[in-house]
Every structure is written in C-alpha cells, then in structure tokens.
Structure 1
Amino acid sequence: MTLLYSTIPPLKTTPGQETINDAFHRLAKESDEISVAVGYISRLSLAELDDVVETSNISRVTLTIGMYSAEGMPERSYHDARALNRKWQSKGIGEIRLVRSFAFHGKLYYFASNNQPIAVINGSANLGVIKTEASNLRQYEVASLVENMTEIFSTKALIDKINASPISENIGEITDLKLIRETNFDLGKSDLAEPVTKEDIDIYRKHQTALTFLLPLKVPTEAERIAGTGSKDSCMKSNINVCYAAPRSARKSRDWYEIQFTVDKEITTQPGYPQKNVPFIVITDDGYRFKAHTTSDGNKQFNAVGDELLLGRWLKGRLVAAGLVSPVNDTMKDTERKGMITREMLDEYGCHHLRLTKTDKTVEDPEDGTLDVWTLFFE
C-alpha cells in the first residue's frame, strides 16, 4: 500500500510522493476498464471522467454514486449524469448507477487492463478529486494506492455487489429521485417578481380550488430544430420560442427570454378562465409571486404585467438553471437555433405544461385593488 496525497500550500507534496489526481490519471492511461464508486460527484468531474474515457480508450466504465438517493441530487449534476449515462450506454461501454438501498459514502477506484487488475485507489476523495475546481481547491484528501492482488480482488468484489440490483439502479431508470433545484438567477433580474417562502406555497396549495387549467408548452422536437428552415412553421408556432420569429426591427433581434404564451381557444373559452386585462396574482411552485393577466383577442395571450420578459425569465430561466439550455445573446445570429426549447429538453426536465389553478385567497394591491390569487406550477 502506498499513500496518495493532495498538494495544498503549505502542505505540498515532496519528491517521491504522488497526488490522488496524478495517480488516477496515470492509472487510467494504463487501463481499458475503470470502475468507480463514490459518494458524490461534480459536473466538472463528470466531464473530466468522460474525457479520460475518451482519451484513454476505456472500453468498460462504471460510475456508481452513493449519497444522492438519500439526500437528493443537484439537478444540473443529475441531467449531466443522465446524458453521460446515455452516451456510454449507446456506445456499449458502461453506465452510471445510483445506490438505492442505503447511503454509500465510500470512495473506491478500480483499474484493469485486458481483464487483469492493475490497482485500486481507496480513500477519502470523491470524484471531484480528478478535477480541481473552486469548491475543492483547499480541500485536502488522502487515499491509499493498493496493488496487492488479494485486496484489489476484494475491492472489485465489493464494487460488483454494490452495482447489483436492488442495491443500485441505472440512473436512467430511476423516476422518483428527489432533485435539488438550482436557483433561477434570471428571474432575479426583474423587480416585479418577489420571492415567497415554501411555507407560503404550502398555504396557497391548501387553498387551491377545483378551477384549474392545463396550459401546454408548444415546442418543436430536436429533429425539427436541427432541420432548420424545413421545419420553420413548426418552430415558429411554439409559444415559448417566439424569439426566433421575425424581429420587430430589422436592426434588433428579439430577446431570447421573450415568449408569447398563446393559449388555445378550447381553454380560454372555458368557464372561469381569467378575463382579458383583469390582473391577478400568481404564486409559482418554485417560490415566486408576480402579477399576471390575459390579453389580446379572445384573451389568448397569457403574460406577466409590466414586464414582457418576466414570464420567459421564470420559465426559460428554470431550464437554464438546470443546465439544459444556454441563453442566446443574439437570436438572429443563432442560425442553428441552439437556444430553441425542444420537446427533448422538457422531457429531460420532466415538465410539459403550466398548471394555472385558482385559490380562494385574495390580496390587496395598491394599484389594482383586490386581486385573486392563482397558483402557477410548471409540471
């Protein structure tokens, strides 16, 4: 057994000492198989592991993550892990699994070549150790490099047991994992959206009435987005991708956050649907409050009051926070429409509609008097 170190001033490595990071990358270059079982991962370490698999021509790889079933998983890491899992599965080289039966806090790294074990790294370091970032820059980890065959086989046997059902499950097959939603910083750019507490949301949820409307998001498929001009009509009919429609001015692109949430007549003509130009308060499922109304002919447009970008910042901002799309600075220059919201993005996020539900509560507004309160949930 050999000790592996971190190197953080003033406790830096000395000649003859090897860091955990260096040992991992050295062993990966010698291997065609890697099995990792850790408690936690980071987005950068996932990307680094994928790069190692690519550059080292790894033919078998398994990453097992042990703590998120118990604690919940940050949604950006979740979506990145699912995407990488799909990539490895499509190439037939491996998968990403989550431990389900208990909280696994171990840190095990197994390396092999031509079905022959090379070594094991066993120690305190989660996957983040393979990619230095701000969150672990000053975090000192220690591990053991194990080259004794008996101990290597024992470690691999343990990893294999953890990777068996029902102890763990492929991340792509899990449907009930608690996600820790990222903060939607885009909505904070509007002064008209106020945060509300989880307790407030729970209260309004208890006061919901039976009057509810399901407002579908109209989006193209990824194939339609890629097809470009051949699917222009399909893309332009999207109620949240209007930023890709013809600009109002030839010299200025539409803002990426601009949406025109057009609701079908079959919904707007139902009894109890909000009347045209009559403002009301919405409470969102992620903890915001703002004033909304319906406008246009047949009250078909649903939008926020006073800020035409607010609804887009709330809705698209959640997809941005989840890491599923990046805002586009100039939609006219985005000829490939990479910023277009697609059905696949909504599938990955797990939401396809807005549910607008009236409550039996009202609030007093200094400008508009007594306003009804509705809940607006993305689901």
Structure 2
Amino acid sequence: MTLLYSAIPPLRTTSDQETINEAFHRLAEESDEISIAVGYISLLSLDELNEVIQKNGISKVTLTIGMYSKEGMPERSYHAAKAYNQKWREEGIGEIRLVRSFAFHGKLYYFAKDNHPIAVMNGSANLGVIKLEATNLRQYEVASLIEDQTEIWNTKQLIDKLNASPISANIAEVKDLDLIRETNCDLGKSDLAEPVTSDDLNVYRKHQTGLSFLLPLKVPTEAERISGEGSKDSCMKSNINVCYAAPRSARKSRDWYEIQFTVDKSITTQPGYPQKNKPFIAITDDGYKFKAHTTSDGNKQFNAVGDELLLGRWLKGRLVAAGLVKPVNDTMKDETRKGMITREMLDEYGCHNLRLTKTDKTIDDPEDGPLDVWTLFFE
C-alpha cells in the first residue's frame, strides 16, 4: 500500500510522493478498464473523465454515484451525466449509475488492463479530485494506492455489488430523482427583476386560485433545427427562438435572449385571462418578481414591462443554468443554430409550458397602484 496525497501549500508533496490526481491519470494511461464508485461528482470532473476515456482508449467504464438519490442532484451535473451515459452506452463502453438502496459515501477507483487488475485507489476523494477547480483547490484529500491482488479483488467485488440491481440503476432509468435547480445568473442582469424570499413564495403558492392558464413553448425539434427547414418561418413561429429571425438592422443581430412570447387566441380569449395593457405582478417559481403585461392585437403578446429581454433572461436563463444550452453572442453567425431551443431540450428539462395562475393577493406599485399577483411557473 502506498499513500497518495494532495499538494496544498504549505503541505506540498516531496519528490518521492504522488498526488491522487497524478496517480489517477497515470493509472488511466496504463488501463483499458476503469470502475469508479464515489459519493459525489462535479461537472468539470465528468468532462475530465470523458476526456481521459477518449484519450486513453478506455473500452470499459462504469461510474457509480452514491449520494444523490437521497440528497438530490444538481441539475447541471444531472443533465451532463445523462448525456455522457447515453454517449458511453451508444459507444458500447459503459454507463453511469446511481445508488438507490442507501446513501453510499465511499470513494473507490479500480483500474485494469486486458482483464488483469492493475491497482485500486481507496480514500477520501470524490471524482472532483481528477479535475481541480476553485471549489476544491484548498480541500486536502488522502488515498491509498493498493496493488495487492487480494485487496484489489475485494474492492472490485464491492463495486460490482453496488452496480447490481436493485442497489443501483442506470441514471437514464431513474425517474424520481430530485433535482437541485441551479441559480439563474442571467435574470440578475435586469434591474426590474427582484428576488422573492422562499417564505413569500410559499405564501403566493398557498394563495393561488383556480384561474390558471397553460402557455405552450413553441419550439422546433432537433432535426428541424439541424435541417433549417422553413428557416425564417419556423423561427417566427417558435416564440422563444425569435432571435434567429431576420435582424431589425442589417448590421446587428437580435439579442439571443430576445423572445416573442405569442399566446394562442384559444387561450387569450378565455375568461379571466389578463387584459391587454393592464400590468400585473408575476411571481416565478424560482423566486423572482417583475411587472408583466399582455399587448398587441388580441393581447397575444406576453412580456415583462420595461425590459424586452427580461422574460427571455428568465426563461432561457433557466435552460442555461441547467446546462442544456449556451448563450450565443451573435445569432447571425450561429449558422448551425446551436443556441436554438429545441423540443429535446425541453424534454430533458421536463417542461414544455409556462403555468400562469392568478392569486388572491395584490401588491402596491408606485406607478400603477394595487396590481394583481399571478404566479408564473416553469416546472
């Protein structure tokens, strides 16, 4: 057994000592099989693991994550893990599993070549140790490098038992996992969106009435995005992808956060739907409030008051925070439309509609007096 270290000043490693990070990457270069069972992962460590797999031609990999079934999983890491799981399964090299029967807090790393065990690492380090970042740069971890065949076999047996049903399941098959929503940093860029405390949000939830409207998000499929069929028309019909429509100026693209939320007449003509140009307060499920209104013929346009990008920052910002799309700086140069919101993205997010529900509460506005409060949920 050899001790593996962290290198954090003032406790640096000496010339004859190896860090956990160094040992992992060295052993990966010597292997064609890696099995890992840890409590937690990070987004960057997932990316690093996939890069290690591709770089070293790893032909068999399993990553088993032990704590999220009990605690909930950060949504960005969840979506990334599902994507890598699908990629590895399609390539026939492995999968990502979640422990279901209990909370597993161990940290086990198994390496093999041509079905012959090389070594295992056991210790305190979660997967984040393979890609150091700001959150763990000052976190000292210790592990043991074990090359005794009996102990290697015992570790591999334990990992295999963890990977058996019903103790764990492939992440794609887990449907009841609680997701921890990431902070939408984009909405904070608008001065007109104010945070709402969780206590206040719960009050508004309790005061919701039976007057509620489901507002569908109109988006193309991934195949339509790639093919670009009906290009201009399809963009205009997609109420949250209007940024890909013809620019207002020949020299300036539309802002990626611009949306044109057009609501069908079948909804706007229903009794109780917000009246045209009559402002109200929207309370979002992630804890923000802003003034909104309906405009245009038949009050078909739904938008925030005073900031044409606010609703887009809230809606698209949620998908950005979830790791499902990246903002585009110049939509005119996005020829492959990677920034276009698709049906598959909404499938992955788990929601295709906004839910607008009236409450029996009002808020005094300095400009417009008492305003009705509606909840606007994307969940």
In which range does the TM-score fall when normalised by the shorter chain?
A: over 0.9
Q: SS of 1:85's equivalent?
A: helix
Deviation for aligned residue 1:114: 1.4
User: Residue type matched to 1:19 in 2?
Assistant: T
Q: Which residue of 2 aligns with 1:348?
A: 348
Q: Which residue of 2 aligns with 1:147?
A: 147
Deviation for aligned residue 1:228: 2.2
Q: Following superposition of structure 1 onto structure 2, how do residues 333-372 of structure 1 map, counting pairs within 5 Å?
A: 333-372=333-372
CA distance in 1, matches of 2:282, 2:329: 29
| 1:225 and 1:235 in contact (8 A); partners too | no
Q: Which residue of 1 aligns with 2:108?
A: 108
Gaps spanning 5+ residues in structure 1: where?
none
Residues 328-378 of structure 1 show CA distances to partners (whole Å, capped at 9, x for unaligned) of 111111122111111111111111100001111112212111211111001
CA distance in 1, matches of 2:10, 2:189: 41
Deviation for aligned residue 1:232: 4.2
Q: Following superposition of structure 1 onto structure 2, how do residues 249-288 of structure 1 map, counting pairs within 5 Å?
A: 249-288=249-288
Deviation for aligned residue 1:250: 1.4
> Between Structure 1 and Structure 2, how many residues are aligned?
379
Residues 121-152 of structure 1 show CA distances to partners (whole Å, capped at 9, x for unaligned) of 01111111111211111221111111111111
CA distance in 1, matches of 2:277, 2:89: 51
| 2:232 and 2:245 in contact (8 A); partners too | no
Q: Which residue of 2 aligns with 1:126?
A: 126
Q: SS of 2:331's equivalent?
A: coil
Determine what percentage of the aligned residue pairs are the same residue: 83
Deviation for aligned residue 1:233: 2.7
How high is the TM-score relative to the length of structure 2? 0.98
Q: SS of 1:332's equivalent?
A: helix
Residues 26-67 of structure 1 show CA distances to partners (whole Å, capped at 9, x for unaligned) of 111111111000011111111111011111111110001111
Q: Which residue of 2 aligns with 1:325?
A: 325
User: Residue type matched to 2:171 in 1?
Assistant: I
Q: Which residue of 2 aligns with 1:201?
A: 201
Q: Give the superposed CA RMSD.
A: 1.1
Q: SS of 2:28's equivalent?
A: helix
Q: Which residue of 2 aligns with 1:137?
A: 137
| 1:224 and 1:235 in contact (8 A); partners too | no
Deviation for aligned residue 1:235: 3.2
User: Residue type matched to 1:53 in 2?
Assistant: I
Deviation for aligned residue 1:21: 1.1
Q: Following superposition of structure 1 onto structure 2, how do residues 230-249 of structure 1 map, counting pairs within 5 Å?
A: 231-249=231-249
CA distance in 1, matches of 2:358, 2:83: 37
Deviation for aligned residue 1:230: 5.0
Q: Which residue of 1 aligns with 2:86?
A: 86
Q: Which residue of 1 aligns with 2:167?
A: 167
Relative to 1, partners in 2 of residues 1:230 and 1:304: Cα closer, same or farther, differing over 3 Å?
closer
| 1:256 and 1:330 in contact (8 A); partners too | yes
| 2:232 and 2:246 in contact (8 A); partners too | no
Gaps spanning 5+ residues in structure 2: where?
none
Deviation for aligned residue 1:10: 2.1
| 1:59 and 1:93 in contact (8 A); partners too | yes
Relative to 1, partners in 2 of residues 1:230 and 1:360: Cα closer, same or farther, differing over 3 Å?
closer
Q: Select between 305-314 and 130-139 the one with higher mean Cα deviation.
A: 130-139
Residues 57-116 of structure 1 show CA distances to partners (whole Å, capped at 9, x for unaligned) of 111100011111122111111111111111001111111011111111100000111111
Q: Which residue of 2 aligns with 1:55?
A: 55
